[in-house]
Amino acid sequence: MAKFMLMFVALIGEVKLIGANESFYRNYTIMTSSPLSEMLTYVRYKVCMTSPPRDVTPEVSTKNASLPHTFTVAVLEVLKPGVILRIKRDDTKAGWSDVEVVVTLLLMNTNSCDDEYEAGSREDGVYQIKVNDNSVIVYCDMATPNGGWTVFQRRVSSAVDFYRPWADYENGFGNINNDYWMGLKYLHELTKNGNHRLRVDMTMCNRSKAFAEFSNFAVGGADTNYTLTLDGHETFSTAGDSFTHHNGMQFSTYERDNDIHDSKNCAAAFKGGWWFVYCMSANLNGLFSPCAIGGKYIHWKALDTTSLGSLSWLEIKFKSN
């Protein structure tokens, strides 16, 4: 039977914030002289956690790079104040005499912007969340009413071209702090479970602002060509409803035409990937040119943008109901 030693260690290091106060890297140095090839060690977070983190990913190395020791590390128990690890030396020489070990922890406590908001985060910005065991960077809008909105599209300038192929729309593109598209595969993963609502915030050519909210939103998987589910237009919206018309449609790009128009490739005609019908009442990935006239520009029919001029700012976001 293997023998282990439970060690309570002193910790030093700096915190590198990634998301909210509960998602960060921290390096710890462990001074040990255990004669065993394996040990159990308790590492305290040294931050105030409102609950145990959902996921802890540890890495172990020697502080002295000239000592080529390698390690296998496993998480035995995740607690609110700290984590218990089993660390094993992989090199043939047993024992820990005079070995200085650095443990790096990545703590993940959030699966969505909603989680960040519930954990107390109130600043808009970039956060790191957990999606299917992968770390994903998202932009969270904490200021819009009810907080915890995940932004999946933003148009603020013509710096990023939205007339792009399928692979780009599937994987995402742009600058997460400016012109940005999250990626259809992430939209699917983040909306496939539970109930979500959608919000579109818009600034018109004349600089007036409007918004539309919908109580039911989801995006299907790749096998459905990322079919849109959208209904439940809220009567308190100020922009009217130009989006429910697209409910049930597959996503289209200029080289992958999934619309139901008999003779026209809507994505090619209106210069952007979208859930086109035959063709659209909203074209929010069209060309960016504020106040320009025409359906190929950012268009929302209920705001009469084909006559009054295309939108000058736009953000689309979702959150749990």
Domain membership of residue 40 (yes or no) is: yes
**What's the pLDDT band for 136 if we cut at 50, 70, 90?**
confident
Query: Within this chain, do residues 150 and 268 fall inside the same structural domain, yes or no?
Result: yes
Residue 64: CATH number of its domain: 2.60.40
**What's the pLDDT band for 31 if we cut at 50, 70, 90?**
low
Domain boundary among 51, 75, 108: 108
Tens of pLDDT, residues 4-21: 233 333 332 222 222 223
Query: Within this chain, do residues 287 and 162 fall inside the same structural domain, yes or no?
Result: yes
pTM beyond 0.85, yes or no: no
Query: Within this chain, do residues 232 and 292 fall inside the same structural domain, yes or no?
Result: yes
Residue 38 has pLDDT above 80, yes or no: no
Residue 115 has pLDDT above 50, yes or no: yes
Q: How many Å apart are CA 105 and CA 55, to the nearest integer?
A: 10
Q: How many Å apart are CA 107 and CA 25, to the nearest integer?
A: 7
Query: Within this chain, do residues 135 and 89 fall inside the same structural domain, yes or no?
Result: no
Domain membership of residue 1 (yes or no) is: no
Q: How far is CA 173 from CA 176, 224, 282, in A?
A: 8, 21, 21
Domain boundary among 75, 93, 108: 108
CA 74 to chain centroid: 27
Query: Within this chain, do residues 31 and 140 fall inside the same structural domain, yes or no?
Result: no
Query: Within this chain, do residues 267 and 134 fall inside the same structural domain, yes or no?
Result: yes
Q: How many Å apart are CA 107 and CA 43, to the nearest integer?
A: 12
pLDDT confidence of residue 89: 77
Query: Within this chain, do residues 184 and 273 fall inside the same structural domain, yes or no?
Result: yes
Q: Name the DSSP class of 176.
A: T
CB-CB contact of 38 with 96 (8 Å): no
Q: What is the mean pLDDT of residues 98-104?
A: 71
Q: Which of 118-132, 184-198, 218-232, 264-278 has the lowest mean pLDDT?
A: 118-132
Domain that holds residue 177: 113-320
Q: Answer whether the bond into residue 279 is a cis peptide, omega within 30°.
A: yes
Provide the number of structural domains found in the chain.
2
Report the phi/psi class of residue 281: left, alpha or beta, with left for phi > 0 and alpha for psi in -120 to 50: alpha
